[in-house]
């Protein structure tokens, strides 16, 4: 599995043609306490760089952009009753949705962990 990052602080972990999408620890820290997550429906198409989900926090509602295009195969059911998982475990159990990638070449435009860490350090 390989994990990629966006400048909007989303991550996608890819295995074959499947990807799991979430927000980074940096992003959840900026948002504050998360109170609700609006997830995409299974079967919904998402487009790289476009809003696919919304995370509501005590500070604001924030769009989550899909790092890659594809079709949603699963939404994280745990977030319905425990949206705070995005705060406590953003890069594992607090994942948002899974998708089937429609264009793996889009991964080339994303950052690896080292590049993302360097990007965040410069903010």
Q: What is the pLDDT of residues 8-56, one digit of tens each?
A: 999 999 999 999 999 999 999 999 999 999 999 999 999 999 999 999 9
Q: What was the pLDDT predicted at 69?
A: 98
State mean pLDDT over 65-92. 97
* Cα 42 from Cα 105, distance rounded (Å): 23
pLDDT band at 76 (very low <50, low <70, confident <90, very high): very high
Question: What does the pLDDT read at residue 73?
Answer: 98
CATH number of 2-103: 2.40.50.100
pLDDT level of residue 87 (50, 70, 90 thresholds) = very high
CA–CA gap between residue 23 and residue 92 (Å, rounded)? 10
Confidence at 7, pLDDT banded by 50, 70, 90: very high
The domain ranges of the chain are: 2-103
Taking the CA of residue 20 as centre, how many other CA atoms within 13 Å lie in the half-sphere pointing to its CB? 13
What pTM was computed for the model? 0.97
pLDDT (tens digit, 9 = 90+) per residue, 60-75? Answer: 999 999 999 999 999 9
At 63 the pLDDT is 97
Q: Which run of H or of E encompasses 31?
A: helix 25-31
| Whole-number pLDDT of residue 110 | 98
Q: How far is 83 from 77, CA to CA, in rounded Å? A: 10
Cα–Cα–Cα angle for 1, 66, 116, rounded to 5 degrees: 60
Contact 34, 10 (CB under 8 A): no
Length of the chain: 123
What is the predicted pLDDT for the residue at 85?
97
Structure tokens of 36? 């609700």
């Amino acid at each position: 599995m390989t994990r990629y990052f966006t400048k909007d602080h989303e991550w996608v972990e890819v295995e074959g043609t499947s990807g799991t999408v979430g927000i980074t620890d940096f992003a959840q820290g900026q948002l504050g306490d998360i109170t609700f997550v609006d997830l995409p429906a299974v079967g919904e198409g998402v487009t790289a760089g476009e809003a696919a989900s919304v995370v509501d926090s005590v500070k604001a509602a924030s769009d989550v952009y899909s790092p890659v295009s594809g079709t949603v195969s699963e939404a994280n059911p745990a977030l319905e009753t425990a949206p705070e998982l995005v705060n406590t475990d953003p890069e594992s159990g607090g994942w948002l949705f899974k998708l089937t990638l429609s264009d793996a070449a889009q991964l080339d435009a994303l950052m690896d962990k080292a590049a993302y860490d360097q990007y965040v350090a410069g903010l």
